[in-house]
Structure 1
Amino acid sequence: MSAGKSTNGEKAANAAHGRKQTRSGAWELLRTLVYAGLIAVFVRTFLFESFNIPSGSMIPTLLVGDYLFVSKYAYGYSRFSMPLAPDLFEGRILYHRPHRGDVAVFRFTQDTSIDYIKRIVGLPGDHVRMQGGQLYINGTEVPRTPLGDYIADDENGDHRAGRLYRESLPGSGGHKPVRHLILKQTSQGQYNNTPDYMVPAGYFFAMGDNRDDSADSRFMGTEPDDLGFVPIQNLVGRADFIFFSIDERDPIWAFWDWPAEIRWGRILHWVH
């Protein structure tokens, strides 16, 4: 037999070796995917979870099309920290009390499969009310400074014009006052003139920064979309920073407009 020719035995051995390498490669790929999945579940459950903003209730702090990371460890963990929210325990583990002024993601009181994002303005024991469009906490008017006119688009693409203010919520837990922006369109109406609400133990009072276009804790009735006081157990995490933002005003297929739709100035923008 001339050199370079393979015997049938050698061919069979090479084929078997090839199959073994293929199986080994497939197993390594599967193991890598399993490890990656476990790491992703760990990060999502205990560290950070991404959310996008679908509505204009937090304008001007958060815009429709913002994508942000929420820190899951900020308030400890409840069953709503877990994927699919299994009913394994009540309350929170490693609980850290939220602070007045935090922008928080939590589960809707009427349907805990729905995520909401609002600003925490009232903590257990606080008295919260609106009078003539002005926020009062524990009987004291929350100071605000007018900054001029403001126009923004809501989730329907409608222009929302109003007055921009810088509000200063009183600090809590030794923290300094939280200065943030709000949008006001009117001082009239039922939800600009509310009763005095005392936040019960184990709950907080949440409001949107777009004060006249936000279904928040001022809605205390029995309607399906009324939020009311929010149980602290419903907290998912604290909104920390925006990692991407896009103004989706053009059709998705118009790829040539994508760069112009990205809000470059909001990328890696901290939430205040």
Structure 2
Amino acid sequence: MASKKSEGGVLDTLKTVVYALLLAGLIRTLFFQPFYIPSGSMKPTLLVGDFLFVNKFAYGYSAESCPLGLCPFDGRIWFTEPERGDIVVFAHPANGTDYIKRLIGLPGDTIQMQGGRLIINGEMLPLAPAETFEEIYEDQQATRPQCANGTVSLGAICQKEQFVETLPNGVEHMVLNIADRSSDNTPVYTVPEEHYFFMGDNRDNSIDSRFFNRMQISEFRTSLSGPPAFNGGGVGFVHRDLLIGKANLVVLSAAGTSLFKPWNWRLDRFFEWVE
């Protein structure tokens, strides 16, 4: 009798584990996907070591919304147009890697950078100085920050200029400036139908839609007023079917080299909404 009870208990436990895994898989497939920030391209909005949830039903569903692309349909269903200023996770057009950037350009927009200033549909966006962004120069996962105040030693203060940029729809967000770089001046980009233009808030440390990869050069050359900026990992224009979801909430955050060292946790960023 005891043996049957023991077998029943083990079977019940296995059932519970299986149901939990199926529920977790369903939630991840249809609703929320965890995402880890490995680079500094979205500073100061998102920091290296932030662990956040992505709302997968914000823009409807495509094959990229499902693990391993297993959704049984082509194109996108229940599509809702993203809004300018959204922070979006999408699949890289060339290699499928998940990227996270801010949505800057909508279909039909013209986008250009001149002297580090963003121009949308011929209008230069307002840019107001803000307090200098400071962080410790140290290992941040597999990277170290880039600094505007020259070469600094480990443990010293790394500074960047910080500004408030206002998008045409009134969305305000912080952007950083490190130095004058070639990406501060671009040709005019005309965003094709069903495509979007993304940029990182850390403008001088972001591979984004200002750069095209080899696959895109011939395809989108007619959408540019000049020669396209080339980078092997460039993002270029992103088709709507590649959108995965909208970043909603930072759940955990850790400085240093690992998320699993509690003494590095940034408790003030736990459960912080992403804007």
Shorter-chain TM-score: which interval? 0.7 to 0.9
CA distance in 1, matches of 2:259, 2:23: 35
TM-score when scaled to structure 1? 0.85
In structure 2, the partner of 1:169 is 167
Is 1:140 matched with 2:123? yes
CA deviations on 1:76-117 (whole Å, 9 max, x unpaired) are 1111111111373222111111100000001111111x1100
Could you tell which deviates more after superposition, 161-170 or 49-58?
161-170
Equivalent pair of 2:255/2:265 in contact (CA under 8 Å) = yes
Equivalent pair of 1:151/1:159 in contact (CA under 8 Å) = no
In structure 1, the partner of 2:194 is 202
1:157 to 130, 139, 144: 144
Determine helix, strand or coil for the equivalent of 1:19: helix
CA distance in 1, matches of 2:114, 2:255: 34
Match runs of 1:1-272 below 5 Å: 17-86=1-70, 88-112=72-96, 114-152=97-135, 155-160=142-147, 161-171=159-169, 177-186=170-179, 188-222=180-214, 223-249=231-257, 258-259=262-263, 261-272=264-275
**Runs of 4+ in structure 1 displaced over 4 angstroms?**
249-252
CA distance in 2, matches of 1:250, 1:216: 26
Equivalent pair of 2:175/2:202 in contact (CA under 8 Å) = yes
Could you tell which deviates more after superposition, 228-237 or 189-198?
189-198
User: Residues 221, 18 of structure 1: CA spacing in aligned structure 2 closer, same or farther, 3 A cutoff?
Assistant: closer
TM-score when scaled to structure 2? 0.84
- Report percent identity of matched pairs: 42
Equivalent pair of 2:57/2:245 in contact (CA under 8 Å) = yes
Equivalent pair of 1:68/1:239 in contact (CA under 8 Å) = yes
CA distance in 2, matches of 1:228, 1:200: 11
Unaligned 5+ runs, structure 2: 148-158, 215-230
Equivalent pair of 2:49/2:259 in contact (CA under 8 Å) = no
Equivalent pair of 1:126/1:138 in contact (CA under 8 Å) = yes
Determine helix, strand or coil for the equivalent of 1:97: coil
Unaligned 5+ runs, structure 1: 1-16, 172-176
CA distance in 2, matches of 1:144, 1:29: 58
What amino acid is aligned across from residue 165 of structure 2 in structure 1? E
Q: Give the CA RMSD over aligned residues.
A: 1.8
CA distance in 1, matches of 2:63, 2:5: 43
Q: CA deviation at 1:242?
A: 0.6
What amino acid is aligned across from residue 244 of structure 2 in structure 1? V
> Which has the greater radius of gyration?
1
CA distance in 1, matches of 2:108, 2:2: 70
Determine helix, strand or coil for the equivalent of 1:33: helix
Determine helix, strand or coil for the equivalent of 2:205: coil
Determine helix, strand or coil for the equivalent of 1:24: helix
User: Residues 102, 251 of structure 1: CA spacing in aligned structure 2 closer, same or farther, 3 A cutoff?
Assistant: closer
- Count the aligned residue pairs: 244
Q: CA deviation at 1:250?
A: 8.0
